A and B are shown apart, each in its own frame.
Chain A
Amino acid sequence: MKSLSPHKSKRTGKGQTLLHLIFILMVLMYLLPFLLVISVSFSSEEALHTGGFTLLPKEFSLDAYRLAVRNPQQLLQSYRVTISFTVIGTVLAVLIMGMMAYPLSRPNYKFRKPVTFLVFFTMLFGGGLVPSYLLNVRYLHLDNKLWIYILPSLVSAWNIIIIRTNYAQLPKELIESAKIDGANELYICFRIIMPLSKPVLATIGFFFFVNKWNDWMTAVIYINKPNLYSLQYLLQRILREAEFLKQMAEENQVVEQGAVYPTESFRFAMALLAAGPVLVIFPFFQKYFSKGMTIGAVKG
């Protein structure tokens, strides 16, 4: 990408230094809280009780993590559940939305206007929480099922419009020459258009993936069976409910006499175990980012 940054000889190093200073300050405001969480998770519980949460653990300890992995049943189950609905959901979403966006980008599609309107209108108006809840529970019986995490949120107008815009910007000759060679619309969509749109589809897929991974609300509303808890919902209960925290820590655990139980440190160890993976995945998608974001930034 051609850099349009004003590279004038007049630009003083002073300006750049100031910018860097401000940015470094900002970066600290972002890194320090994470450091705090990490530090607390690696701290002994006694040190926390006496000295509070500090940036560096006063007394290093792996007790919290030991506890977390000692009885990882619930954690592993929530991981299983979360990975399932995240992966399935993302694949299905990119597929179905990627498919749907193609005809909407073709001027010669007969139903382009009505379908586009139907899609777009959902951005302006919706039934709301209660009607959806009634539909999902009373009629579709999706409560306490894995599919509740996937189906209701599978399609989104916003994403389709972004993908459609991207498709429309591909050269028309591609499609025309494919038609001459006898390709049908399905072939064009799956073998030509979608492969060429990998950056946008990957970006959309990435955002979708992250949102799914971070889903706690679905479980709050629709799930009460622990074996279907999403990771974030599990975390929520750990943060909010001291009783739940105790229960999780105590299952099959022999309590030593007089030992101080890892509670706060355990909380944060769990938080890292649940949130960590996203941080790792993120760098891989960085390269698709700038391209995809530019496309998305243009008016849909």
Chain B
Amino acid sequence: MGFRQQKGIDQKTHRVFGSGRTAKGNSYHRRTFQENFEMSLLVLPGLAFFIIFHYLPMFGIVIAFKDFNPNLGIFGSSWAGLKNFEFYFTSQDAVRTIRNTVLYSLTFLGLDVITGVTLAIMFYYLQSRRALKFYNTVIILPRFMSMVVIAFIVYALLSPTYGAVNTIMKSFGAKGIQWYSKPEYWPFILILTHVWQTVGMNSIVYYAALMGMDGNLLEAADLDGATKWQKAWYVLIPHLISVIVILTILGLGHLFSGDFGLFYQVTKDTGVLYPTTDIINTYTFRAMQTGALEKSAAVGLFQSLTGLILVLLTNGIVRKISPENSLF
């Protein structure tokens, strides 16, 4: 026994440690403990942040059920049951915001896939890698601009007095349109802006997936004389299905949520446009700004809960159909 301890042979794997390492961790259990301890040290800072900034706020959810009085704090305020939820769901705002949010979410989800996949396939068929890099770099650029800058660009185009669009219209003799006063144009404007900003990044994700594809399938298709349309439809797209499914599941989890920046910045938060541009996120934000914290929290909770349920639901459905494509 003594000789073994001296040489420091690990009992389990019989690996021999160099000299000077006999005392510390020469038994399997001590090494495992030390390993776990060290790894826990590595995990600790990140974990602390998760607990403080992600889990602690969850306790604050109770405010949704209270009549919040800032002087009494969260725990001193009295209970209000479901009053805050009633307040929202019986209001006209709920109809408008939920309708807008869901419609935009669905539209974005669908368009993101269609445009992303189409562009990825186009990239894939492009022979010149240099051209590909150039095109891709330009198209992805807006993704790295802040929503404020994007709002500027939209303003440069749609400013009622000087905007490029109106300027061009006037040069054709037409009258300019008061863009920021007409809600009916904004679904189109916002959808276009969203696609413009995100298609670059989306296409990269699908393109990367295509690059990981086995080339044999395509060669076989070529041998069978497939056109590039057929190849795209029967080989490329099926390969992308799993990525599409994952992204769709995650996207559906955010069905009742929207890109706050897009709807807040690009519209310049113009009240006139709310009928078509107000989503749940912008609504809760305004509620918070005006001090109705408990109502804002209630709607926020509604969003989080529906998000959770939706992801679990869609994941469950996908798992039934083709398990390998599910998220977990």
Contacts and interface: CB of A to CB of B under 8 A. Distances in A.
Q: Do they bind each other?
A: yes
A8 interface: yes
B32 to A, nearest CB: 7
A106 interface: yes
Contacts of A108: 32, 35
Nearest to B159: A53
Interface stretch (B13-21, B89-97, B104-112, B183-191): B13-21
Interface stretch (A61-69, A73-81, A152-160): A152-160
- Chain A CB within 10 Å, residue with most, of B18, B213, B304: B304
A134 B50 contact: no
A184 B38 contact: yes
A61 B129 CA distance: 39
Given A6-B228, A19-B125, A130-B296, A54 B164 contact: yes
Contacts of A152: 53
B54 A126 contact: yes
A132 B50 contact: no
Given A1-B211, A30-B138, A271-B149, A103 B42 contact: yes
A200 interface: no
Give the size category of B's interface with A.
35 or more
A239 B268 CA distance: 8
B181 interface: no
Interface in A208-248: 210, 213-217, 221, 232-233, 235-236, 239-240
Interface string A150-185: 011111000010000000000000000000101011
Among B35, B215, B268, the one with the most A-chain Cβ atoms within 10 Å of its Cβ is B35
Nearest to B124: A5
B6 interface: no
Contacts of B170: 52
Interface in A89-127: 96-97, 99-100, 102-104, 106, 108-111, 115, 118-120, 122, 124-127
Given A4-B211, A239-B148, A130 B60 contact: yes
B147 interface: yes
Interface residues of A, number: 107
Interface in B265-295: 265, 268-269, 284-285, 288, 293-294
Interface centre among A6, A37, A221, A283 (most CB of B within 10 A): A6
B167 A235 contact: no
A249 interface: no
B47 interface: yes
Nearest to B60: A131
B244 to A, nearest CB: 12
A286 interface: yes
Contact of A216 (B40, B124, B146, B296): B146
B164 A100 contact: no
A36 B167 CA distance: 12
A8 B221 CA distance: 12
A217 B260 contact: yes
A176 to B, nearest CB: 9
Contacts of A122: 50, 54-55
A160 B43 CA distance: 11
Interface string A42-65: 000000110111110000000000
